[in-house]
A and B are shown apart, each in its own frame.
Chain A
Amino acid sequence: KNEVEQSPQNLTAQEGEFITINCSYSVGISALHWLQQHPGGGIVSLFMLSSGKKKHGRLIATINIQEKHSSLHITASHPRDSAVYICAVSQGNQFYFGTGTSLTVIP
Chain B
Amino acid sequence: EAGVAQSPRYKIIEKRQSVAFWCNPISGHATLYWYQQILGQGPKLLIQFQNNGVVDDSQLPKDRFSAERLKGVDSTLKIQPAKLEDSAVYLCASSAQGASEQYFGPGTRLTVT
Contact = CB atoms under 8 A, between A and B. Distances in A.
B102 A45 contact: yes
Interface stretch (A58-66, A74-82, A88-96): A88-96
Contact of B104 (A31, A44, A92, A100): A44
Nearest to B30: A93
Contacts of A100: 40-42
Given A93-B95, A94-B56, A42 B104 contact: yes
Secondary structure of the B side of the interface?
A: strand
A86 interface: yes
A9 B77 CA distance: 30
B42 A90 contact: no
A99 B105 CA distance: 19
B72 interface: no
B89 interface: yes
Contacts of B37: 41
B2 to A, nearest CB: 14
Nearest to B89: A41
B65 interface: no
Nearest to A31: B100
A27 interface: no
B55 interface: yes
Interface string B47-87: 01010000110000000000000000000000000000000
Nearest to B55: A93
A88 B56 CA distance: 18
A97 interface: yes
Contact of A42 (B41, B56, B101, B106): B106
Interface of A: 4, 30-31, 33, 35, 40-45, 48, 86, 88, 90, 92-95, 97-100
